[in-house]
Chain A
Amino acid sequence: MADELTFSDEIANLLHASHGNPLNTCIQCGTCSGTCPSAPFMKHSPRRIIAMINADMKEDVVNSNTYWFCASCFHCTVRCPREIDIAELMYALKRYSMWNQQYQEDLIGPTFSETFVKTIFGSGRSYEPVLATSYLFSFGVPEFIQEAQTATTLMLKGRLPVLPARIKGLKNFRRMLGRIIPIGGLE
């Protein structure tokens, strides 16, 4: 119960139930960054982001694209010699950023996650065409046309749904989720 809470402490609190070791056990070996398939596209590699958290560089960490570029492949997690659950850390940073509505502006990740979560709240199952709307706007014209062509081909091959699927017990399903998170409009 220290009075001065560091950013590293805040992250530790988000990870209080994690199965991995605390971030301050990191030895900066770089196995995570060497393993991460997204690292070349990140502003800061996973190794560096852990060092930055331990150095209390909150703004730089939260405003980086690093954690939104994590694809959840868990390769870093299984290889970390200190058994830090790095992929879970990326989830924790995403939660922190969603709850505080603070993230780098040009990212699609936050909108996509929100759309996905909302879709499942609404129908119990996911539906690709709705999910697509969260990213199509970010495309230029040629990319958009190509995406539309791929979608059309998939549709013709019977691989894209025309109507969203729904679970039958939707009312109970929504009430169930409402017991975990008190969303409005359930009654």
Chain B
Amino acid sequence: MSDPKRLLMIDDDPDFVEGIKAILVAANYSVDVCYNPKDGLKALQTGNYDLLLLDIMMGRGAEGIMIARKMRKDPKLREMPVLIITGIREQMAFLFPGGPAHPRFVEVDELVEKPIKPTLLLEKVSALLKAAEANKTKQDNV
């Protein structure tokens, strides 16, 4: 059996993190957590992760958007799949008159809204990892 895939989660909500982490660990993923954007960026730059689970509203504000943008400009991190899990539409309900919360200008791979069902979470993570793998093989063959 191959080594477990390494996931990083950047999210400031300890209760939410606890739940998601338990689901992922039970599915044989290795999960590291950072609770603020600053530690998160440091971990991304020093660690070697296969996928990032990213919150939006943290620290000063919508700092998840800032991280996602920064990754897409970084040659080392550009290929890493990003799954945004956010409660932004609920958190900022007064600014979202029912509109979609997708950040069209950030090239994240997927965005799902909290709360997320365990089956959907595992589905999304596995699909993103597979797609990243396929992408990598394709590039290696070029």
Contact = CB atoms under 8 A, between A and B. Distances in A.
Contact of B95 (A9, A14, A181): A181
Contacts of A118: 94-95
Contacts of B37: 16
Contact of A181 (B35, B38, B62): B62
Nearest to A187: B104
Given A100-B91, A118-B94, A182 B34 contact: no
Contact of A9 (B35, B94, B96): B35
A118 B97 CA distance: 11
Nearest to B111: A182
A5 B97 contact: no
Contacts of B54: none
Nearest to A182: B103
Contacts, number: 82
Contacts of B102: 182
A182 B36 contact: no
A179 interface: yes
Contacts of A10: 12, 14, 35
Residue among B32, B36, B56, B104 with most chain A CB within 10 A: B36
Interface of A: 1, 5, 9-10, 12-17, 95, 98-101, 114, 117-118, 121, 179-185
Given A16-B59, A101-B93, A182-B65, 16 more contacts: A5-B14, A9-B14, A14-B60, A16-B39, A16-B60, A99-B57, A100-B91, A101-B91, A117-B94, A180-B62, A182-B104, A183-B96, A183-B99, A184-B99, A184-B101, A185-B97
Interface of B: 12, 14, 17, 32-39, 56-62, 65, 88-106
